[in-house]
């Protein structure tokens, strides 16, 4: 079949065969299918959609476009987690070591932050000496010794996604749910885990702006997992305000150390989402008999400090100075030239926040990149002092800014004031967790 006929088939709303999907990816990666035809195909997919079975074939074709990681020589069920990207999302630094402390095997590849969302690699690099590029053998050695290691992507994983994403970006096809699902899942599956928990964020700081879209994406990714024989579960969580209080690299490392040291209450949203993700990982790994047992184990490993020890062990293994990862020493990571307190301009209730703007404000202080080449200042960022639903008086502190370069400070403050909405009425506050998606929640 000529590729133009395959495009027409999709444009007419038909289901593509396994062979057509594999030919499309092979041809696009080797250059025999030009960008203009692939653009047209992706627009047809955006408009006509794909079945879960087609999306699973697309995912597999993309996954096999490059290297895949084989973790089969590591013991036990290899567990992974993935977040679709949020602000103040420090969950990996908490959950990965905690699950390892409970006996799990977590061999994870992570990404960098771009725009308003943070990346785990940048957070790890804020700990002096830590090298996020490790040879595969060394990566596995750290996992064998310590139960957990999180590194940057190695090898040439999913070249099809890099090429497709670049084209989607300039052809208004980023938002296609089957294209997002196959993009995320091809990379997760290529990095070798047996079981994956996905945290699909929805709200002002997330890719998926509505709950409905987030649940659709979550179910599709879970279904892809089922169709290709890996266990995937997803939680849909709120990103209408930062998840943790800290937004910034070392600031988020400090918050993870605080959580793993038992300094953060159970009612805290970051704590809650960490428990939820950790629980699903332990259940998928066969390490807990039910949710209550999983939660009790996770909490026990916070209380006895063994979760923090796993984080320290991983950092030591990666050449970093783990002595910073203690309650006594962590303040050294976040030393800055000045602190600026953002104060409420009126009295009332925090009715909503724009999490994307808060992430952008931290980025403008130097915590993130606007462009891939930008340098990060690990210590800067902000710590929220309020959450949605809190009552404030004019003059109360809304957030504490950690500043080294104050050239754009007034722009940052203005952005934050416009991002934190104070109203006379308390209004409805969204929950942090909207629900769990598993193979059993599939509707058809």
According to the 3-state scheme, what is the secondary structure of 146-203? HCEEEEECCCCECHHHHHHHHHHHCCCCCCCHHHHHHHHHHHHHHCCCCEEEEEEEEC
Q: Which does 89 bind (CB under 5 to 8 A by kind): ligand URA, Ca ion, none?
A: Ca ion
Q: Is 137 a catalytic residue?
A: no
Q: Is 295 a catalytic residue?
A: no
The strand ranges marked E within 55-102 are: 78-83
Q: Is 183 a catalytic residue?
A: yes
Q: How far apart are CA 368 and CA 54, in angstroms?
A: 36
With CB under 6 A as the contact rule, the residue among 60, 107, 184, 384 that binds ligand URA is 184
Q: How far apart are CA 299 and CA 384, in angstroms?
A: 25
**Judged by CB under 5 A, does residue 122 bind Ca ion?**
no
**Judged by CB under 6 A, does residue 173 bind ligand URA?**
no
Smallest separation (angstroms) from ligand URA to the CB of 111: 8
Q: How far apart are CA 210 and CA 256, in angstroms?
A: 28
Q: Which does 83 bind (CB under 5 to 8 A by kind): Ca ion, ligand URA, none?
A: Ca ion
With CB under 6 A as the contact rule, the residue among 91, 92, 126, 183 that binds ligand URA is 183
**Judged by CB under 6 A, does residue 62 bind ligand URA?**
no
With CB under 6 A as the contact rule, the residue among 7, 180, 190, 245 that binds ligand URA is 180
Nearer to ligand URA, 56 or 184 (CB): 184
Q: Is 82 a catalytic residue?
A: yes
**Judged by CB under 5 A, does residue 90 bind Ca ion?**
no
Helix (H, G, I), strand (E, B) or coil at 106: strand
Distance of CA 116 to the CA centre of its chain: 12
Contact mark string toward Ca ion, 38..77, x via CB under 5 A: ----------------------------------------
Smallest separation (angstroms) from Ca ion to the CB of 96: 11
Nearer to ligand URA, 101 or 184 (CB): 184
Q: Which of 8, 251, 28, 261 is nearest to 118 (CA)?
A: 251
Q: How far apart are CA 235 and CA 243, in angstroms?
A: 14
Say if CB 418 and CB 258 are below 8 A apart. no
Q: Which of 292, 442, 385 is nearest to 88 (CA)?
A: 385
Say if CB 261 and CB 308 are below 8 A apart. yes
**Judged by CB under 5 A, does residue 83 bind Ca ion?**
yes
Say if CB 102 and CB 303 are below 8 A apart. no
Q: Pick the catalytic residue from 89, 122, 161, 238.
A: 161
Smallest separation (angstroms) from ligand URA to the CB of 436: 21
Nearer to ligand URA, 207 or 324 (CB): 207
Residues classed as catalytic: 82, 161, 168, 183, 187
Residue numbers of the site for ligand URA (CB under 6 A)? 180, 183-184, 207
Which positions touch Ca ion (CB under 5 A)? 83, 89
């Amino acid at each position: 079949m000529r590729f133009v006929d395959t495009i027409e088939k999709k444009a007419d709303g038909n289901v593509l065969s396994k062979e057509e999907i594999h030919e499309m990816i092979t041809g696009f990666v080797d250059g025999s299918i030009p960008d203009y035809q692939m653009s047209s195909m992706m627009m047809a997919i955006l408009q006509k959609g794909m079945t879960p079975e087609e999306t699973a074939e697309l995912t597999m074709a993309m996954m096999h476009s490059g290297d895949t990681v084989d973790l089969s020589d590591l013991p036990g069920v290899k567990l992974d987690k993935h977040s679709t990207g949020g602000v103040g999302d420090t969950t990996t630094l908490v959950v990965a070591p905690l699950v390892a402390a409970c006996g799990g095997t977590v061999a994870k590849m992570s990404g960098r932050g771009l725009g308003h969302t943070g990346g785990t690699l940048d957070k790890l690099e804020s700990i002096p000496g830590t090298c996020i590029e490790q040879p595969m053998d060394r990566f596995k050695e750290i996992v064998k010794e310590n139960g957990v290691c999180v590194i940057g992507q190695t090898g040439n994983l999913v070249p099809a996604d890099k090429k497709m994403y670049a084209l989607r970006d300039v052809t208004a096809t980023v938002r296609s749910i089957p294209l997002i699902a196959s993009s995320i899942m091809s990379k997760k599956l290529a990095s070798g885990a047996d079981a994956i928990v996905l945290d699909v964020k929805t709200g002002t700081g997330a890719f998926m702006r509505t709950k409905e879209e987030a649940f659709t994406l979550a179910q599709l990714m879970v279904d892809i997992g089922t169709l290709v024989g890996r266990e995937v579960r997803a939680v849909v969580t709120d990103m209408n305000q930062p998840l943790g209080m800290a937004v910034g690299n070392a600031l988020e490392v400090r918050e993870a150390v605080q959580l793993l040291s038992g300094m953060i209450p159970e009612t805290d949203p970051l704590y809650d989402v960490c428990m939820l993700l950790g629980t699903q990982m332990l259940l998928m790994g066969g390490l807990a008999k039910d949710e209550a047992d999983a939660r009790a184990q996770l909490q026990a490993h916070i209380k006895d400090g063994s979760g923090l020890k796993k984080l320290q062990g991983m950092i030591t293994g990666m050449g970093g100075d783990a002595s910073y990862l203690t309650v006594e020493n962590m303040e050294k990571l976040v030393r800055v030239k000045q602190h600026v307190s953002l104060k409420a301009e009126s009295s009332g209730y925090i009715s909503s926040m724009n999490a994307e703007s808060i992430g952008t404000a931290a980025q403008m202080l130097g915590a993130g990149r606007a462009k891939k080449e930008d340098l990060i200042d690990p210590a800067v960022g902000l710590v929220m002092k309020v959450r949605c639903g809190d009552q404030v008086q004019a003059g109360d502190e809304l957030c504490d800014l950690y500043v080294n370069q104050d050239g754009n400070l007034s722009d940052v403050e203005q952005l934050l004031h416009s991002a934190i909405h104070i109203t006379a009425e308390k209004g409805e506050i969204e929950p942090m967790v909207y629900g769990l998606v598993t193979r059993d929640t599939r509707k058809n």
